[in-house]
Amino acid sequence: MTANIPDQFASAALAAGCHFDQMLNFNRAGVVLQPRQLAASAAARLCDRPAGPTAVGFGGARGGGKTFWLVAQMALDDCQRFPGLKCLLLRKVGKSNLENFEDLRRRLLTRIPHAWAASRATLTFPNGSRIIAGHFQCEKDIDAYLGLEYDVIGIEEATTLTARKYHDIVTCNRTSKPGWRPRIYSTTNPGGVGHAWYRTAYVIPFQQRLETATRFIPATVDDNAFNNADYRGVLERLAGWQRRAWLHGDWDIAAGQFFTTFRRDVHVVDQFNVRGDVEWFAALDYGFNHYTVVLLGCTDTDGNTCVMDEHAARGWVPERHAQAIKAMLQRHRVALAARSQYDIALRRFVAGADVFARHSDGATIADQYRQLGISLRPAATDRVNGWAVIHKGLGDPASGVRPTLFIHRNCTRLIDCLPALQHDPTRPEDVLKINPDDDGIGGDDAADALRYLVATRSRTVTAMRLRGY
C-alpha cells in the first residue's frame, strides 16, 4: 500500500467506505481505527455531501471505543483537513470531560503539532482549527453555548440530554466558512433521560434502513479489541435491562420498560406461517390530533396471533381513514363482511369507548364509520388485563417460554411503540400514558389498538379458512 499505510488497515478502511486522505490523516498520527470506528468515520465524510447526513451517532453497548473515535475524528481528520474549524466537545461532567480529553490527547496527538491550553480547555492546531472541551453539569449549562457558532459539535453520552436541550445545542451547529458543512457527532449507550428521543432520531431510522439526516453506527464490547480481558465479564455479570443495554447494545430496553420480554429478533417477522384455519380481526384506536391506529390481525388454530398490518394517520376525517382501512383489508384479501361461504371476512372489528360516546347531536364516531360501511363494536378496554394479555403473548424467549404473539415488520409504528412504553409509577401494572410530540413522534396509540385487538374475543368461535396464503 502507498504512503506506508499498513495493508490490513487500508483494506478495512476501504471496506468501510473511508476516503484515502482519511487513511493518510490517521496514519500520519500513528492511529489505527477498528472496523466499527472506520465505519463511523466514513459516515462523517458523508456529511460533506450537499444531500448527505448532518448527524452521526456511534455507540450502543459499553466498551465499543466510542470516545476514542469521536476525538480521533474531530482532531485527526476534520481539524487537519480544514483550517479554522471551531469544534465543541460536550460531556455531562466537566472534570470527567477534561480528564478523558487529556488522556486521549496524549494517546492520539503525540505526532501531531498542537497547543493545549488547560485553563481554557482548548486544543489548537497550526492551521487555526481548534477543539473546545465543554460540559453541562446541569442542563441549564447548555444555555451558555447558545447563540455561539460551532462548525462541529461532538456530544459524549448524548442520552444524558433531554430532547429539548439537544435541539437547543443543535441551533449552534452552523458555519460561515465556505466549503464546510456543519455536522454533529454523538456517542452514547441505551438508557438515560434522552433514551427515547435518541432511539427515535438515530436508531429507528437505522433499523428501518430509512436514514436521511442521520447515520447510526452500532458497536459493542466485541468491536473493541483494546478492552482489558476481564471487561466483558463485568458486563456479563449485569442483570435485567442493564445487561441487555450495556452488553448487547439493545435499544429496545430501558429502565422502567413495561414489556421487558419484547425481542425484535423474535417477535418481529417477515411472514406468518399459519397453521390450519385462521380467524381475522381488527381494532381501532381513535384520534384526530392524536393518531387513529387500525391493526389487522389473525390467529391460527394453534393459538398463534400475528398483527399483519397497520394503518396510522392523524388529522384525517373518517372518510379518509375508511378508504385506507378498506385498502389494507384488500391487500390481505379480507372482506369487512362475508358475502358467501367462500369469503375470508373479519370476525370482529372493535374500537375504544370514545368511538361510541354520543356528541351533543346524539351521533357517534361509530355512526360515521357505519355509514362508510365499517361496523365497529366496543372493545374490551380494561387496561391492566389488556396489557397482561400482551405480556402472555410475548412469552419470555430468554427463559424458554415460547411466544404466541408476533408482529409483521410492516407494522412500524407498533414495533417502535411497544419497547418504548414505561410503567406508570402510580400504578405499576399499567402503562404510563404518553402523547406524540408536535412532529407526531411517540405516543401510545398503537399499543392501545393492540390491547383492543388481542384482549377482545369473539362471542362465538368460528374458524374461517385462509385461502391464498
Q: DSSP E strands: which ranges in 198-240?
A: 214-219
Would you call 24 helix, strand, or coil by DSSP? helix
Confidence (pTM):
0.65
Cβ neighbours for 243, distance < 8 A, ≥ 6 positions apart: 235, 236
What does the DSSP assignment read for 382-403?
A: -HHHHHHHHHHHH-BGGGTB--
Return the pLDDT at 278: 84
CA–CA distances in Å: residue 104 to residues 65, 68, 136, 289: 12, 7, 20, 49
Return the pLDDT at 118: 85
Return the pLDDT at 313: 94
CA separation for the pair 199, 331 (Å, rounded):
31
- Could you state, in order of their start, the residue ranges of all structural domains in the chain? 2-239, 264-455
* Grid coordinates of 438: 408536535
Q: Identify whether the C-beta of residue 158 lies closer than 8 Å to the C-beta of residue 95.
A: no
Return the pLDDT at 138: 67
CA separation for the pair 444, 197 (Å, rounded):
15
Q: Identify whether the C-beta of residue 278 lies closer than 8 Å to the C-beta of residue 377.
A: no
Return the pLDDT at 103: 83
* Grid coordinates of 82: 480544514
* Grid coordinates of 3: 504512503
**Residue 443 backbone zone (phi > 0: left; psi -120 to 50: alpha; other: beta):** left
Return the pLDDT at 276: 59
Q: Identify whether the C-beta of residue 276 lies closer than 8 Å to the C-beta of residue 377.
A: no
Return the pLDDT at 48: 97
Residue 56 has φ and ψ, to the nearest 5°, of: -125, 125
* Of 297, 306, 342, the residue nearest 465 (C-alpha): 342
Within 13 Å and on the Cβ side, how many CA atoms surround 163?
13
**Residue 442 backbone zone (phi > 0: left; psi -120 to 50: alpha; other: beta):** left
Q: For the chain, which ranges sit under pLDDT 70?
A: 1-3, 93-97, 137-139, 254-255, 274-277, 340-342, 437-441, 458-469
**Residue 362 backbone zone (phi > 0: left; psi -120 to 50: alpha; other: beta):** left
CA–CA distances in Å: residue 342 to residues 41, 109, 463: 58, 74, 12
> Residue 145 CB: number of other CB atoms within 10 A?
18
pLDDT tens-digit map of 287-326: 998 999 999 999 988 889 999 999 999 999 999 999 999 9
Strand partners, 351: 284, 378
Long-range contacts of 255-258 (CB under 8 A, 24+ apart): 255/191, 256/422, 256/423, 257/419, 257/421, 257/422, 257/423, 258/387, 258/421, 258/422, 258/423, 258/431, 258/432
CATH code of 2-239, in short, is: 3.40.50.300
* Of 182, 150, 172, 151, the residue nearest 52 (C-alpha): 182
Fold annotation for 264-455: Nucleotidyltransferase; domain 5 (3.30.420)
> Cell 476481564, residue?
230
* Of 138, 349, 390, the residue nearest 260 (C-alpha): 390
* Of 16, 59, 49, the residue nearest 212 (C-alpha): 49
Return the pLDDT at 274: 64
Within 13 Å and on the Cβ side, how many CA atoms surround 274?
22
Return the pLDDT at 41: 97
What percent of the chain is modeled with pLDDT above 70?
A: 92
pLDDT tens-digit map of 248-301: 888 887 667 889 899 989 999 998 876 656 899 999 999 998 999 999 999 988
